[in-house]
Amino acid sequence: MSMEDYDYLFKIVLIGNAGVGKTCLVRRFTQGLFPPGQGATIGVDFMIKTVEIKGVKVKQRFLILSYDITCEDSFRCLPEWLREIEQYANNQVVTILVGNKIDLADKREVHRQRAEEFAEAQSMLYLETSAKESDNVEKLFLDLACKLIREAKQNTLDNNDSTAMPGEGKNINYLSCCSMN
């Protein structure tokens, strides 16, 4: 599919501790696969997925802040990640909190309600996912895209956002991951 076949451009960045499942979430969404036994992401991992959504032209950055529901530490680090976001991302960034690995319900260390309250206090959406079982993964990325388009229609986007890519105004999702090891 060539660039000319796209209508919108989105950039999505996943952040969170090492091992929470960022790469797996992206692979599940972009390739429909859950690849076991892959190594840690070094730097930033880029993948591309096309989706069809009707709406206005957008150029905005999404942030998916992720933790592992079976790993208390990955939840405790969220404020630190939020500080990084505040420091380096512009104010218009759309952020969603994701608790991954809900297929491991018997190993859960972070209660859903606690995460929901944290997300609400930070004005973030909250979703629980399983990259392994494909639970809520499509919803995660498509809800974000819809939210972005809604916001664009309300004319709240920063038109000077530097995340615009070549082919701006085309319909591409750039997905990337980064983590603190």
Ligand X SMILES: Nc1nc2c(ncn2[C@@H]2O[C@H](COP(=O)(O)OP(=O)(O)OP(=O)(O)O)[C@@H](O)[C@H]2O)c(=O)[nH]1
State the nearest-atom distance from the C-beta of 148 to ligand X, in Å: 23
* CB nearer to ligand X: pick between 142 and 180: 180
Q: Tokens standing for 43?
A: 């730097």
Contact with ligand X (CB under 6 A): which of 41, 60, 95, 136? 41
Residue in this structure with the two tokens 């260390």, named with its chain if needed = 109
Q: Where in 84-103 is the site for ligand X (CB under 6 A)?
A: 100-101, 103
Within 8 A by CB and 6+ apart from 43, the residues are 178
Per CB under 6 A, 38 contacts ligand X: yes
Q: Is 91 exposed, middle or buried (0-12, 13-18, 19+ CB in 10 A)?
A: exposed
Per CB under 6 A, 65 contacts ligand X: no
Distance, CA of 101 to CA of 115 (rounded, Å):
14
State the nearest-atom distance from the C-beta of 65 to ligand X, in Å: 12
Per CB under 6 A, 36 contacts ligand X: yes
Contact with ligand X (CB under 6 A): which of 60, 95, 130, 173? 130
Within 8 A by CB and 6+ apart from 178, the residues are 13, 14, 15, 22, 41, 43, 44
State the nearest-atom distance from the C-beta of 149 to ligand X, in Å: 27
State the nearest-atom distance from the C-beta of 157 to ligand X, in Å: 28
